[in-house]
Structure 1
Amino acid sequence: MTEQALPGALDGLRVVDLTRVLAGPFCAMLLGDMGADIIKVEQPGRGDDTRAWGPPFVGEESAYFLGANRNKRGMTLNLKHAAGQEILGEMLRSADVVIDNFKLGTMAKFGFDDDWYDANAPQIVRCSILGYGSTGPRAGLPGYDFLLQAESGLMNITGEADGDPMKLGVAIVDLCTGLYALSTIMAAVNARHRTGLGQAVEVSLYDTGVSLLANVAANFLASGQAAGRYGNGHPNIVPYNAYPTGDGMIALSVGNDMQFANFSQAVDHPEWAEDVRFTRNRDRVENRGACDGMIADLFRTNTTEFWLDKLLAAKVSCAPINTVEQALTAAHTVARGLVTTANHTTEGEIRIPGIPFRFSRDPATIRRAPPILGEHTDAVLGELGKSPDEIAALRDAGTI
């Protein structure tokens, strides 16, 4: 962690983060990694739901919360209090971005509708993260990653062909919604350079889930054929799968016919590339079972290490199937800084995920550990001109 870091690419951008759980906090964290000043606003006495999601915990802090809230200042504010809404209004007047994942209409209920923004904070980019969006028959319903993986069709294409539908091992809809939010926010900030005005942007878990069908959706729209499950395989490419070896498994990715010929040569079976069943990718897709079967039979004759060494020497794309522990301790992970440390206010030095992107001129850095609940409330209110006595009165009233 770098306390006195060089300014990041988004230095000077102030973001009010009203979100909780994952999609919104993840988006705001990435903006903070790029140098933005993130003020995370939480409910007094309770905070973000994920503070209680555990074990595991690091002291009193949940690992889940620590994984999505670095590079933020944290304050508490009761938005059901008129005084809390007044303070939020003061914050928004001087902010560049506000992100919320409240139910549809909540911000307007607090008094922050389009007319308020036009009159008081026309510069602000306001991002709403919703479950199902603001239009359509399911508008306004809350959304949850697991349910949206199910409803969007993602689970139906995940898992073994003869098994049950499965979700991914991480909250992929939440995470990608956070990335979409990041992209739309930055586009709106860029548009502000041209217009001088902010605008409302919206993303939803439902839209994200359906969009992640990607090539599978395109396949269905082009052919009308129902999408299936292929386990670790690919609907349009063969061989592209996980194969058993003599002592484990190996992931193999062969993306075109030239690569298949090179692979066949590397495993001492050049005749495979001449077999009419496997010459072209479309032939291999049509003969998926035979192609995958002969590769699996061959790989079972030796160890994972043997095949990795042999294939990588021939520049065939392949990889071991690591455990999470193996991935996080791998030499390349360490070299890329994807596991790092931060100095937490109550827990001292903690290990947290690192930043997955690089800038050549404006470095992305970890300047702050995830905040304890309300850690920077007094500082933020002081910046708004509140005196110590006024802050004490707000605390006594339960507003902060």
Structure 2
Amino acid sequence: MTQNTSAPLAGIRIIDLTSAVVGPYATQVLGEYGADVIKVEERSGDVIRWICGRSPTPGMPGKFLHMNGNKRSICLDLKQEEGRQALLKLVDTAHVFLHNMRPAALARLGLDAETLRKRHSPLIHASIVGFGSKGRYAGRPAYDSILQGGTGLASLFATHGAEPRYVPYVVVDRTAGLMVANAVLAALFAHQRDGAGRTLEVPMFESFAALLLSEHMYGHTFDPPTGPLGDQRLLDANAKPVQTRDGYVCITTNTDAQVKRLFEALGRSDLANDARYATSLARIEHVSEFFSARADVVRQFSTEELMERLLEHDVPIMPCHTLDSLLQDPHLRDVGLIENDTHPTQGAIKRIKPAMSMSGFQAKLRHHAPHIGEQSTEILRELGYSPADIENLFNRGIALAHKPDPSSRPQ
């Protein structure tokens, strides 16, 4: 693996016992900053390998590839003592141990924070849990859809009589993944100052509930309440993409000046000067009328004409993309977000590059997303195992190494 010594996290080793989305997404971000992420998998591998569609060779679907670059995979049977000992040797070399196992299962394996930090005190032990350990839901299983419902997100779609529904994107997992990455970065920063380890717990339910409530607690922030729960600008039935003559656009006007320029750009100075829409507080009181008036005007124009007029007047607007049209967006092509690449076993792929930029550092792909146990031999060798010891672990099923099948390789 090529080490980028200018990377912010160069020299930081992260042991990743997570699966699915929240943990792998967090470590994907940390890997992009240069951390050496070692993905520890059981024989069946990360569940996301098998529930996200077909791939040229088994267990390598697109979603897995997009969340597991810059990682190395070692496959160990942690239920066997020698497999657990290999993991403990690996932990001894690490700065961060990250998992999303349930606490009881973690304790049975002796991988809980108290045990590991007694062995390796500088360790940052990070737990991703569905529900915080101090509450009555502690230890329950949780997936993104469970938490979309449990936090009230799904019910927001039912505000105007529709049925509750899930956002078609694992928004709780992805958001919690960023929170995990932030917490690990903060712990690493603190470690640089005092050399001490840390024990972290990131509960997904509470984390997302806090975000949603900060958006929608609204008048109930005060005691007694000054108004109802819910930001009506977001919950109104017309708070959605606006239909044009030939499609849909997304328009947001938060300032009084933007609202004035919107209606003037569309030839409706009468609405620009309407007292119901002229100020922010007035628009809150008349939000449904404002959205309806806007929709009535917008549908008279084509998407192209709207884009031209509103951009000329500095009004925020974007076309309402489909997944297909997003891939063709000219700005994304300008910045090179998606590039053609070749995976060693999956052949030609489209790779999503990191969007952030940082002076003095260019995020690079150091290693493609791995097969289960693809680097088992390499990592065991780094831990001091001899070739004979490694072969013995493989023969006894304590460790597994990926062996490419030439017949299944893409042409």
| CA gap 1:290/1:119 in 2 versus in 1, 3 angstroms | closer
The Cα of 1:47 is off from its aligned counterpart by 0.3
Q: How far apart are the structure 1 equivalents of 2:95 and 2:118?
A: 15
| CA gap 1:137/1:226 in 2 versus in 1, 3 angstroms | farther
The AA in structure 1 aligned to 2:277 is F
**2:217 — aligned with what?**
217
Cα displacement string for residues 231-263 of structure 1 (whole angstroms, at most 9, x for unaligned residues)? xx5259x99642111111111100111211121
**2:164 — aligned with what?**
165
Q: How far apart are the structure 1 equivalents of 2:15 and 2:385?
A: 18
| CA gap 1:114/1:102 in 2 versus in 1, 3 angstroms | closer
| CA gap 1:114/1:23 in 2 versus in 1, 3 angstroms | closer
Relative to the length of structure 2, the TM-score reads 0.90
Q: How far apart are the structure 2 equivalents of 1:234 and 1:93?
A: 49
The Cα of 1:224 is off from its aligned counterpart by 7.0
**1:267 — aligned with what?**
266
| CA gap 1:69/1:367 in 2 versus in 1, 3 angstroms | same
The AA in structure 2 aligned to 1:22 is V
| CA gap 1:274/1:229 in 2 versus in 1, 3 angstroms | closer
Cα displacement string for residues 174-215 of structure 1 (whole angstroms, at most 9, x for unaligned residues)? 001110100111111111122211111011220122022122
The Cα of 1:65 is off from its aligned counterpart by 1.2
**1:99 — aligned with what?**
98
The AA in structure 1 aligned to 2:388 is D
Identity of aligned residues (%): 29
Relative to the length of structure 1, the TM-score reads 0.93
The question of 1:242 aligning with 2:248 is answered no
The Cα of 1:267 is off from its aligned counterpart by 1.3
**2:177 — aligned with what?**
178
The Cα of 1:56 is off from its aligned counterpart by 4.0
Cα displacement string for residues 150-181 of structure 1 (whole angstroms, at most 9, x for unaligned residues)? 01011122367231122212100000111010
Q: Which is worse superposed, 4-13 or 289-298?
A: 4-13
The Cα of 1:327 is off from its aligned counterpart by 1.3
The AA in structure 2 aligned to 1:395 is F
The Cα of 1:57 is off from its aligned counterpart by 2.4
Cα displacement string for residues 12-41 of structure 1 (whole angstroms, at most 9, x for unaligned residues)? 000111000000000011111110001001
**1:202 — aligned with what?**
201
Matches within 5 A, 1:53-92: 53-60=51-58, 61-92=60-91
Q: How far apart are the structure 2 equivalents of 1:382 and 1:169?
A: 43
Matches within 5 A, 1:1-400: 7-44=6-43, 46-60=44-58, 61-158=60-157, 161-213=160-212, 214-222=214-222, 223=225, 227=229, 234=234, 241-400=240-399
Give the 3-state SS of the residue equivalent to 1:66 in structure 2. helix
Cα displacement string for residues 325-350 of structure 1 (whole angstroms, at most 9, x for unaligned residues)? 21122121122232134442312332
The AA in structure 2 aligned to 1:215 is E
Q: How far apart are the structure 2 equivalents of 1:177 and 1:81?
A: 32
Q: How far apart are the structure 2 equivalents of 1:366 and 1:160?
A: 44
The Cα of 1:302 is off from its aligned counterpart by 2.0
Q: Which runs of 5+ in 1 are unaligned?
A: none
The Cα of 1:133 is off from its aligned counterpart by 1.8
The AA in structure 1 aligned to 2:133 is S
Kept in 1, the 8 Å contact 2:242–2:298? The answer is: yes
The AA in structure 1 aligned to 2:176 is T
Q: How far apart are the structure 2 equivalents of 1:67 and 1:13?
A: 21
Kept in 1, the 8 Å contact 2:103–2:112? The answer is: no
Q: Which is worse superposed, 358-367 or 123-132?
A: 358-367
Matched residues, number: 395
Q: Which runs of 5+ in 2 are unaligned?
A: 400-411
| CA gap 1:219/1:351 in 2 versus in 1, 3 angstroms | farther
